[in-house]
Structure 1
Amino acid sequence: MFNNMRAIDIRGNVGPAESLYMAEIPKPIPKEGQALIKIKAFGINRADIMQRDGEYPVPPWAGRIMGLEFSGIIEELGENSESSFSVGDEVFALAYGGAYAEYITVSTHMLIHKPPHLSWEEAAGIPETWLTATKVMYKIGEFTRGKSILWHAGASGVSISGIQLALSAGASAVYATARSDEKCDFCVNTLGATAAFNTTDPNWVDQVMKATNGKGVDIIADLIGPDVFAENLKIAAKDARVVLVGLMSGFTFKKEFDMGLLAFKRVRYEGSTLRSRDEDFQRKLRDTFVSEALPQFQSGQFKVHIEKVLPWEQIIDAHKLMETNKIMGKIICTID
């Protein structure tokens, strides 16, 4: 019993939310350069739902236990760990998997010191969304001060993070889309977006072009996929960057699009996932986040918007809530 721990597993490897259950598995042992973390809280992400449903290509090194982000306390360090971390430090981090558990081992290159004023729940809601937003803007979108940016699914965790990041970094305009007026109002009135557009309105593309005086948008963060591909080409500015980081509308096209716009506007359309990137990429992304965003968390400028906090024993309810697509912020599970 001493060498075991509790973790959330899936009966039959894939299945509905009801297939999740509390299992007992071996407690991990930190390897060279790794830390063993006692987890206090972890975030729920759409990738978890896709993995549970068997629709996510899980990296072979990730293991079967879900969970991509967490906060907790360093309990043990392997040899040759980063010298800035010590046993007892409060940290949060991105993980390749395994955060739905009492303990996790990760490279110390992934760890970030938790600011004292942040709660465990807030810290656990940062890594996946904020590092993805950082990647979209700086690593792929090639953001520089004065560019405009649009975040699809504006009330999602990634876009909530991205809107704040872009405003702080000096974007000329920060736009968002959503599928309800309530979410659009949240993006503008709570997050501070320049404007938000309801994509259930058939004229939303015209509204974007009017808002940009016909220029279009310099960077588009696409969490939707096929359903907005044609529209992205229409609202993209010349030399725009479109970054595909989500496939909420599925994997296949259901309508025609004008391929000529891709060429004539010189649009670069690039897909990216974070989980499949190697540790060196993750470390560099962590360092960018620490320099570009962490100071604003320490000052209180950036906020983690949390929809609901649940004890991890209610993991089924957490997954079902994520599946409603009605949330505006993170779902966090806590471990006593």
Structure 2
Amino acid sequence: MHAITIERPGGPEVLRWTEVPDPAPAAGEVLIEVAAAGVNRADALQRQGNYPPPKDAPPYPGMEVSGRIRELGEGVHGWHVGQEVCALIGGGGYAELAVAAAGQVLPVPKGVSVVDAAGLPEVAATVFSNVVDVARLKPGETLLVHGGGSGVGTFAVQLGKALGATVVTTARAVKRERLLELGAERVIDYTVEDFSQSVRADVILDIMGGSYLKQNVDALKVGGRLVVIGLQGGRRSELDLGQLLAKRATVAGTTLRSRPAAEKAAIVRGVREEVWPLVEEGIVRPLIHDRFPMGEAAEAHRLLESSEHFGKILLTVSR
């Protein structure tokens, strides 16, 4: 098969469409003939040499795929060869074939194409596990989503709205109207406005990390929950513990890729039970900005790093 390999740590130009050995499913795994792979910030970090894949994952980037099952590993039940699926994987998605743990596989939702389904597993699992499981968002609460125009952001806006929350998001002004259409009550242009001066949120989903920590705590209501899922603004900052105690607030940090397989399988079950019905009803949908042939992964990464996209970027495999 062919896969996108990383020639050396560096910019998008180091990505190469290369012939590599075919993978084979071990016990409890399925082999997927890839139709498309989602492009994520973690893939760019891996390309730069800053986010190595788990030890048991292929060295190729790509943490979510869609396609058709080609082969079942020993002991796999509930799936069949030829079935259209999407999956959360530890790595190796930028390829013609990818292996996924059976517990991290999802059926392609009704009303979604097999290609566009590649834009769902990572964002659905990330948003559900953090907003629902960790932060315990309740109807009537206010959810602040940073980076509303990203894949995670567009999904979080929709899911927050579907769960009965008032959703506020930060994004550049050019993305404002589309975010309002998705269900955001308010869009704050972070380039000209300090969100902490005008928002009080019960739950904050943050991709920035260090640079936003003080403002995020300022913006929390009493009993608020801040969940940090990215470090685009740095790893370090000072935290006023007195303010945190006075607000009886919680700061949590999570990653998805490095979690044990059992934890990821539990998240995927929750997504299938609670989120997939919303997708099939059209209440929440994958927002696809663009699709590139797999061999043009470098162009897809350039678009990702420009932050000009709205929603997900996909890489497709033609046969």
**TM-score surpassing 0.5?**
yes
- Look up the equivalent residue of 2:143 and give its one-letter code: I
Find the aligned partners of 1:302 and 1:195 in 2 and give their Cα distance.
18
Find the aligned partners of 2:110 and 2:137 in 1 and give their Cα distance.
30
- 1:46 pairs with 2:30: no
Tell me the residue number matched to 1:212.
Answer: none
Query: Contact 2:169/2:184 (CA < 8 Å) preserved in 1?
Result: yes
The SS at the match of 2:130 is helix
Find the aligned partners of 1:32 and 1:248 in 2 and give their Cα distance.
37
Q: TM-score, normalised by structure 2?
A: 0.96
Tell me the residue number matched to 2:51.
Answer: 56
Superposition deviation, residue 293 in structure 1 = 1.1
The structure 1 residue matched to 2:219, chosen from 235, 247, 264, is 235
After superposition, the C-alpha distances for 1:34-58 in whole angstroms (9 at most, x for unaligned) are: 1111000011000000111112243
After superposition, the C-alpha distances for 1:230-259 in whole angstroms (9 at most, x for unaligned) are: 100111011111100011122233xx6644
The structure 1 residue matched to 2:263, chosen from 267, 273, 281, is 281
Mapping of residues 18-33 of structure 1, within 5 Å: 18-33=13-28
Structure 2, unmatched stretches of 5+, are none
- Look up the equivalent residue of 1:313 and give its one-letter code: G
Query: Contact 1:163/1:191 (CA < 8 Å) preserved in 2?
Result: yes
Find the aligned partners of 1:201 and 1:20 in 2 and give their Cα distance.
36
Find the aligned partners of 1:122 and 1:63 in 2 and give their Cα distance.
23
Mapping of residues 115-194 of structure 1, within 5 Å: 115-171=109-165, 173-178=166-171, 180-188=172-180, 190-194=181-185
Tell me the residue number matched to 1:10.
Answer: 6
Tell me the residue number matched to 1:213.
Answer: none
Query: Contact 1:310/1:332 (CA < 8 Å) preserved in 2?
Result: yes
Find the aligned partners of 1:7 and 1:77 in 2 and give their Cα distance.
21
Tell me the residue number matched to 2:82.
Answer: 88
Find the aligned partners of 2:149 and 2:270 in 1 and give their Cα distance.
24
- 1:197 pairs with 2:155: no
Tell me the residue number matched to 1:110.
Answer: 104
Superposition deviation, residue 287 in structure 1 = 1.0
Find the aligned partners of 1:66 and 1:95 in 2 and give their Cα distance.
10
Find the aligned partners of 1:265 and 1:277 in 2 and give their Cα distance.
30
Superposition deviation, residue 260 in structure 1 = 2.2
User: Taking every aligned residue pair, what percent have the same amino acid on both sides?
Assistant: 35
After superposition, the C-alpha distances for 1:88-129 in whole angstroms (9 at most, x for unaligned) are: 100001110000111111111111111343112310000111
After superposition, the C-alpha distances for 1:261-312 in whole angstroms (9 at most, x for unaligned) are: 1121121111100000111111111111111111122122222111111111
RMSD, aligned CA:
1.4
- 1:34 pairs with 2:29: yes
Tell me the residue number matched to 1:211.
Answer: none
- Look up the equivalent residue of 1:229 and give its one-letter code: L
Q: TM-score, normalised by structure 1?
A: 0.91
The SS at the match of 2:115 is helix
Mapping of residues 191-230 of structure 1, within 5 Å: 191-208=182-199, 216-230=200-214
Find the aligned partners of 1:205 and 1:16 in 2 and give their Cα distance.
34
Structure 1, unmatched stretches of 5+, are 209-215
The structure 2 residue matched to 1:66, chosen from 52, 61, 64, is 61
The SS at the match of 1:26 is coil
Superposition deviation, residue 130 in structure 1 = 1.3
